[in-house]
Amino acid sequence: MRTVIQRVTKASVKVEGKLISSIGSGLLLLLGISDEDTTEDIDWLVRKVLNLRVFNDEDGVMNKSVLEINGDIIVVSQFTLHASTKKGNRPSYIKAAKPEVATPIYEAFVKHMEKELGKNVGTGIFGADMKVELLNDGPVTIIIDTKNRE
């Protein structure tokens, strides 16, 4: 499971011009799921994201988590995070899970995130052509791969 985490002052997702989700201050997660991902990956990644200290404290130091600032979260599925560009110029997505595998994992991730965050999490529409807008704050952008826990 791979995620690109962006600290935002606002973010939204639209599908066919219709607003699906929007948040103020918080995190936008682009989430890529592979066939190898399990509930262990979900649990670990949810804990890691919720406890990342990427928000400023009163001294302007990134020392607070999204939980501590009562921030919001949007999770957007993005299979292209598993693109392989090793060979040629056309990315291969063979490592990305097919929808029948990825959809239940994505939904479980969102439910677990909501439970631990204590409020609803915004989403896109799985597999849809989405328009994601954000105002990256900082900018702060972090990439996490559950198979490479650095």
Q: Which entry of 3, 78, 123, 146 is annotated as an active-site residue?
A: 78
Active site residue 123: no
DSSP 106-142: HHHHHHHHHHHHTS--EE--TTS-EEEEEEEEEEEEE
Tell me whether residue 79 is one of the annotated catalytic residues.
yes
Q: Which two tokens stand for residue 28?
A: 């936008």
Q: Please state, in angstroms and rounded to a whole number, the distance separating the CA atoms of residues 131 and 26.
A: 18
CB atoms within 10 A of CB 102: 23
Q: Cα separation of 134 and 150, whole Å?
A: 26
Please pick, among 3, 6, 55, 79, the residue that the annotation labels catalytic.
79
Look up 55 and say whether it is catalytic: no
Q: What CA–CA distance (Å, rounded) separates 103 from 35?
A: 11
Write out the catalytic residue numbers.
Answer: 78-80
